Structure 1
Amino acid sequence: MKFQIIPVTPFQQNCTLMWDENTNKAAVVDPGGDISKISDALKQRGLTLEKVFVTHGHLDHCGGAKKLAEEFDVPIEGPHKDDAYLLEQLGSEQSRMWGLPAGEPFTPTRWLDQGDEVTVGNETLKVFHCPGHSPGHIIFFHAPSKVAISGDVLFAGSVGRTDLPKGSFTQLSKSIKENMYTLGDDVQFIPGHGPVSSIGYERKGNAFVKG
């Protein structure tokens, strides 16, 4: 599995393009906006978009999900159903809160939960429910590549905000310790914002949640 980070929106959110090298089938994780940039990356690499994945319902992560899915006629998978209220607010309340262009509310083709699996081409990723930043936040883990996509759960040297409505540091800390920190120290993760880091580095040195 190959991965490319495509920063989108004024928040420079790490939208991730992933693809199966054997089939050239691809998925896009968290298309918060700038859909033309994502489409251009797909075309430049000669990839066929198969699915859209969403980690959680905040506007900078999924504001463009419906538009991208409709443009390529593909399903949306994720987040967990506990973020349904956020997806309903994409066109109004979240736009006012974040000062970003309004997104299009949607209901995903498939809600995801702890223990589910998703596929891209012939590759399989595991799903972990990691509430705390938002109640329905999930992460994706591709074990063969040792790469996780963490959304706004864990960052290089930091963690996701928990001061937003329905946020919980207690839940976030539990999600990180019981899900992310158990993936393996040699696992690299792509956060929702900022640079890539490793589980081992954060487990030992993250000042907010230590393993």
Structure 2
Amino acid sequence: MLKIDRLELGPVQTNCYIISGEGKQCIIFDPGEEAGKIQDLLKRKQLTPLAILLTHAHFDHIGAVDELREKYKIPVYLHHKERDFLGRPNLNGSGKYAALPDYRVADADEWITDEPSLEIGPFNMELFHTPGHSPGSVSFYFPEDRFAIVGDTLFSGSIGRTDLAEGSEQLLLKSIRESLLTLPEETFLFPGHGPETTPKQEQQHNPFLRM
């Protein structure tokens, strides 16, 4: 049984998820900022990270990537369609806000393409390319434990914004309906911001999915 720890980090309280198993190994999803808080949790729980996985490359999901990658000597995974986002503020969204510094992160170590699944150590997950919020958004589904990390594709009662670089509302809704709402209805969906939800809850109550 996998364990899920969530930290709300950075200027917009982005959810960073740390998924761990019985062997004290873990993977880190979307370390958006405040690397020290992530390191403190890993030390406190005696966890050894194996990789950093990014649901997408907007600034609020990547701020602690380089510091953690260097400290733990672990690879970073990102969809290849966002190859240019990590180093370009105009694409990762940080250039849109005068109050923010320009976020620039080194290239990913591993590029996700069209593979249907991914295995990292003891962690096995199915991959769904869920573009719309961004061109390379990926959702990571753990079928045995009945949960998915969905980034900013779908929220409890809402959907991801589509006014940033290469966003598309039509494509976003298609991704949600074809990849996330088709999961078993009680699957826990863990988004990039806010509380978890389920396909059943969103089908019944999400106003954006009635359009």
CA contact (8 A) 2:133 2:168 kept: yes
CA contact (8 A) 2:65 2:105 kept: no
**After superposition, where does 1:1-211 map in structure 2 within 5 Å?**
1-21=2-22, 23-78=23-78, 80-90=79-89, 94-98=93-97, 99-210=99-210
How far did residue 105 of structure 1 move? 2.0
What percent identity do the matched residue pairs reach? 34
Letter in 2 for 1:173: L
Per-residue CA deviation, residues 107-141 of structure 1 (Å, 9 max, x unaligned), is 11111134432334312011110110001111111
Letter in 2 for 1:83: E
CA contact (8 A) 1:64 1:103 kept: no
Aligned length: 209
CA contact (8 A) 2:75 2:109 kept: yes
Distance change (3 Å), C-alpha of 1:104 and 1:164: closer
My pick for the range that moved more, 33-42 or 97-106, is: 97-106
Distance change (3 Å), C-alpha of 1:90 and 1:15: farther
Distance change (3 Å), C-alpha of 1:113 and 1:199: farther
Distance change (3 Å), C-alpha of 1:19 and 1:210: farther
CA contact (8 A) 1:118 1:127 kept: yes
Residues of 1 paired with 2:150 and 2:60: CA distance? Answer: 14
How far did residue 87 of structure 1 move? 1.1
Letter in 2 for 1:62: I
How far did residue 210 of structure 1 move? 4.3
Distance change (3 Å), C-alpha of 1:90 and 1:50: farther
Letter in 2 for 1:73: K
Q: Given the two structures, how large is their TM-score scaled by the length of structure 1?
A: 0.92
Per-residue CA deviation, residues 121-167 of structure 1 (Å, 9 max, x unaligned), is 31201111011000111111111111111100000000000112211
CA contact (8 A) 1:13 1:60 kept: yes
- Could you tell me which runs of 5 or more consecutive residues in structure 1 were left unpaired when the two chains were aligned: none
Per-residue CA deviation, residues 163-198 of structure 1 (Å, 9 max, x unaligned), is 122110110011001101111101001110011111
Letter in 2 for 1:81: H
Residues of 2 paired with 1:204 and 1:69: CA distance? Answer: 40
How far did residue 85 of structure 1 move? 2.2
Residues of 2 paired with 1:72 and 1:195: CA distance? Answer: 29
Residues of 1 paired with 2:75 and 2:174: CA distance? Answer: 30
* SS of structure 2 residue aligned to 1:111: strand
What is the root-mean-square deviation of aligned Cα atoms in Å? Answer: 1.9
Residues of 2 paired with 1:129 and 1:113: CA distance? Answer: 9
* SS of structure 1 residue aligned to 2:110: coil
CA contact (8 A) 1:115 1:128 kept: no
Residues of 2 paired with 1:116 and 1:165: CA distance? Answer: 25
Stretches of 4+ moved more than 3 A in 1?
Answer: 90-96, 98-104, 113-116
Distance change (3 Å), C-alpha of 1:165 and 1:103: closer
